[in-house]
Amino acid sequence: MLGCLPAHADLVSALNTFKHGDYTQAFPEFLALAKLGQPLAQLDVAYLYAAGVGTVRSTVRAYGWARLAGQNGEVKGRKLAVKLRAALTPANRRAAARIVAPYTPAALRRSLLPIFSAGCGTDGRKRCRAGTWGQTRQCAPLHVYRFVYPRGAEFSGVQGRVVVHFTLMPDGSAHLPYVVFGLPKPGYRFHAAVRTSILRSKFGHLPPGAQPARCNLMFSFVESPFASLSAYPRLEHFIDTMRRRAHSGNPSAEAIYGTLLATVPQVGHRRERHFLSWLVKAAQAGVAYAQYEVGESLLAGLGCPHDSVKALRWMRLAAAQDEPHAQVALAMRLLRGVPTAAQWAQARRRLQAAVARHDKTGAMYLSALLAAAPEAQIRDPARALALERMAFRGVGVDPTGYEIRAAAYAAEGRCKRAVRAERRAMAHARALGWSLAPLQARLRRYRAGKPWFGNLLDDAAPPRRQARAARAATPTSGSARLGD
């Protein structure tokens, strides 16, 4: 768990920069966090403005930020505001209020912060139970494929929760499952087991004419359904330690404690519902992974109402710190529908950044992009094949891996291999109850010795739009080498 967070959160880095006397660098770091609503950063910005250290001296701005820090609970902020107020005219005070108006608690609730709601957890009483994660009824499975508890985890008494995102197609099939976050680490094979379960689970058909739905499910892995937290003394000690550190204001501990409340089944209902408030505290302090989790919670409606605008703001903040999960989430949005050349290029950059951080979901999307992107300068079939083997290891029932392999072979001109890979994809898709129309269209091209270029990860697109995109993406003069 500790490994998924940066060694130092931004607030800690800013404080260290200040202590080393680099005030010019510390000021913009504090200001960025102050604009997210972090009280200590707001107080530090006020001090720097008041002293003219690291920035131009401004009593008006110092008063505005000190007063805002006081409103957010910093006692020293209130004292500083009282001290500065005596030197300001009423016009100065109104100017100070205008400067910080976009960053007041009320303004941030409208533009950035989630609105908390109770009852945001699942009870986790059933082994390997899946629960809807803030989604509508259409995302609830009619039948969940139950798998064998991962042997290594069962023998070790390891338990946890995994949240998986997927696309629900109109015919009731689930495509492109990937893990948004969860505990414990992937080494216990929970992630691969959940992806397999989603692919094999049964969902209801969507209403006629409905577009594919973006869904999330939470799976609870409980080795002993009736065991309480006290049955796991090491886990209880760790949670208590993180709680004490979080209450002391440690940003990394706030992120870890919030994630533990959301994902450890033994914690219980009463503490679960407060997980999002701790993640928001850590996100405001600049912890990239917490910013990503807040964004996902806003997208899924977990612990708060759905709000895609706020979610994207948090995702972009996390991606700016090179958080791989956020990079993947933003790239996925770029690849929906029929992307432009600029969107293909931007998605590739984001996915490459995620793969550099060893993210398997990033490898899955990047392999599809490199195998069949319409832009020749973006394609790299050889690397697509290497990434596909890594991304789909342990999830052999997913037809998407074979489709990526087929597209990459065809792009290299090895169409006989492409045909064999596409047939395997069709066999798996048929077993899962998927619509075979897009796969059959690609198979016909491979049989004709032609590559297929387009968006492999958007079978959610309506068939006519898919056909237009494929025709637009296919070069008029065959530049690919034919044959095996």
pLDDT at position 1: 40
For the chain, the domains span 2-111, 128-224, 325-473
Apex 404 CA angle, 391 and 398, nearest 5: 60
pLDDT given for residue 4 in this prediction: 43
Q: Would you say 40 and 74 are in contact if contact means Cβ atoms under 8 Å apart?
A: yes
Length of the chain: 484
Q: What is the DSSP string of 152-198?
A: HHHHHT--EEEEEEEEEPTTS-EEEEEEEEEES-GGGSHHHHHHHHH
Cβ-based neighbour number of residue 53 at 10 Å? 15
CA distances from 338 to 68, 121, 333, 404 (A): 45, 36, 11, 18
pLDDT tens string 5-32? 443 448 888 989 898 989 899 999 999 9
Q: What is the DSSP letter of 146?
A: P
Which stretches of the chain score pLDDT less than 70? 1-9, 117-137, 147-160, 181-189, 221-233, 265-273, 394, 458-484
Give the count of alpha carbons within 13 A of 179, CB side only.
25
Class of domain 128-224: alpha beta
Q: What are phi and psi of 306, to 5 degrees?
A: -65, 135
Contact 218, 163 (CB under 8 A): yes
Contact yes or no for 45/34 (Cβ under 8 A): yes
- The rounded distance, in Å, linking the Cα atoms of 133 and 162 is 11
Query: What is the spatial distance between Cα 403 and Cα 423, in angstroms, rounded to a whole number?
Result: 9
Contact 33, 14 (CB under 8 A): yes
C-alpha to C-alpha distance for 77 and 84, rounded to whole angstroms: 11
Q: Which CATH class is domain 325-473?
A: mainly alpha
Percent over 90 (pLDDT), the chain: 46
For 73-127, write each residue's pLDDT tens digit: 999 999 999 999 999 999 999 999 999 999 999 999 999 999 886 543 333 333 3
Q: In this predicted structure, what is the pLDDT of residue 482? A: 25
What pLDDT, on the 0 to 100 scale, is given for residue 6?
Answer: 40
